[in-house]
Amino acid sequence: MKYFLVKVFKLLFSFVFICFFSLNAYALRCGNSLVTEGDSLDQVRKTCGEPDRKKEWEVRSYNLGVCSTMLMAEWVYSMPVGSGYHVLRFKDNKLMSITFER
């Protein structure tokens, strides 16, 4: 019985560990404030300041002869040396995702 419980504990711990480190961040702390998915590009700029790197581009699509344009942006905020960085992706000036990368 003891062997079974140890095995179950190890399996459960591994599952929680993998889930915890594979999830995307849904918020980014900047000073005493948070930015979350759905915030506008201007709100993020006011809260976190200018990013360390940014890339902006347009995506055009045509549907039944009608052209529509989406504004896309990717902002990167670096963390302290060696600990990684946060990548914020915007679509039409709205924050769509926050990920942490090393």
pLDDT tens readout for residues 13-33: 454 444 444 445 589 999 999
CATH number for the domain running over 25-101: 3.30.1450
pLDDT of residue 45: 97
What are the residue ranges in the chain where pLDDT is below 50? Answer: 13, 15-23
Q: Whole-prediction pTM value?
A: 0.71
For the sheet containing 94-101, what is the strand order?
53-63, 66-78, 85-91, 94-101
d(CA 94, CA 38): 6
